[in-house]
Structure 1
């Protein structure tokens, strides 16, 4: 414990201002966490929206300091239009130049760097994965509850993980017997969810097709971390169970999948956050 506190105290943090790739009018802001002797492998934290570089409950701040105390340089930054960065806001499908600009600054600021791991949560994970195949310096991806949302996918996950378990709960039947359940509204909702679950989309700009193609092309290693109590994580699991191509992708020897029971979408409890930090540090070091 004393050694951990000493290592954390030795971490330096520097504020950086740099240009977005391909957008000379916009400057981005990031915070670089540096150990006394940075190693050759660093971590770029790609935020999910709408968030800025601190993250929910300071998640990205704490993670960056934890990893830096273990010898890894870490950069977290704001997309254009978020936090202190300039420019107009945009969604995860339009942040390729932002990630490229952050990586350029990261390698300039830390001469020891030779490769990076991209770390992302939710649509930040999807954005990170979509960038990874385009940059040979990216050796790994850490994806937390990746964003694969579609109307059909959401409906399937809701049916599997909400409606079916609800029918097994005694309090549901007690409410039904006592008139606490509005059957007409509930049945209408169930019919709509069931209909949505049968719909299919061929939109290649939707998150799931984009993410699948990027991960299929990526040659590095992948750590997937899923929350035990998050609908987005259940959408991913339902997609894997339904689609053979996704199952094959996840079965690769370059992939590792971890589940954190009881964790919500942002791993906000101290216990869940600590598990994420340890998993990430051990996986990156290995």
Structure 2
């Protein structure tokens, strides 16, 4: 296996990416393009993306990951995922040029990296997507999305230990009021929710959703998808870690990705 650092242009700036795979010119015809979420560098949280890339590359799958403008080693201004279209397209083109044997491109992203792929993956030439915890609902103020708050309170009400804690410590009235207001609030669409759900729907069977069961972002996405009446193929992992950092998470996430990579 080899690991190569590549630089490539994007709107007058220089982006940096990493290509993991067999020696130059080798490797399978299916490649994985990784898009990190938030302001994470291409190594991913806890180096999760770098380790995933190394394991897949050892089995012959070329993997490319990159830092968008203003993040990590890439120059420019970080304008968030809403401004990351050109970065994604430039990265996909660079990947194909560096690994010309790749004829089937799978995109994988977590959080708003997943949202970027849902929005612009077709333009980037992706054939299928693995979208982990897609960012679809913006939290309001200092509270998580209403769906996540509802799930939290429902879990608390089912837990006898939680009732015991309440009786011992008493209720925090301000916190309770904020939570109840969040539950009662109608979901807000700041231009992300509708577009993300519609984009995922358009991918049809070419999109696989991976959700961390206890993660607020995943819960909010699932609620938005239910409200919109879409039901893409979904794999739910029994973890509360948004970045799949708990014991067993990495293997479960990798299994879901490998299933898409190996599909005909």
Q: What's the TM-score once normalised by structure 2's chain length?
A: 0.90
Q: For the aligned residues, what is the CA RMSD?
A: 2.0
CA contact (8 A) 2:7 2:14 kept: yes
User: Could you list the runs of 4 or more consecutive aligned residues of structure 1 that deviate by over 6 angstroms after TM superposition?
Assistant: none
1:156 aligns with 2:178: no
- Is 2:206 the counterpart of 1:221? yes
153, 158, 167: which is aligned to 1:177?
167
Query: In the alignment, which residue of structure 2 is the partner of 1:61?
Result: 50
**Do the aligned residues in 1 keep the contact of 2:114 with 2:132 (CA within 8 Å)?**
yes
> Is residue 262 of structure 2 the alignment partner of residue 271 of structure 1?
no
Instruction: Report whether the alignment pairs 1:77 with 2:66.
Output: yes
CA contact (8 A) 1:227 1:261 kept: yes
Which whole-Å CA distance do the structure 2 matches of 1:220 and 1:184 have between them? 46
The alpha carbon displacement at 1:106 in A equals: 0.9
TM-fit CA distance, 1:189: 2.1
Deviation of 1:124 (Å)? 0.4
**Residue of structure 2 equivalent to 1:210:** 195
1:109 to partner: Cα distance: 0.8
**1:6 corresponds to:** none
In structure 2, relative to structure 1, the CA distance for the partners of 1:111 and 1:186 (3 Å cut) is: closer
Structure with bigger helix share is 1
Number of residue pairs the alignment of both structures matches = 258
- The answer on 1:143 being equivalent to 2:138 is no
State whether structure 2 residue 37 is matched by structure 1 residue 48: yes
3-state SS of 1:84 partner: coil
Which residue matches 1:236?
221
Q: Indicate if the aligned counterparts of 1:138 and 1:220 stay in contact, CA closer than 8 A.
A: no
**Maintained 8 Å contact 1:117/1:140:** yes
Q: 1:41-67: per-residue Cα shift (whole Å, max 9, x none)?
A: 211101101100100111110111111
Larger Cα-atom Rg: 1
| Secondary structure of the corresponding residue to residue 121 of structure 2 | helix
The unaligned stretches of length 5 or more in structure 2 are: none
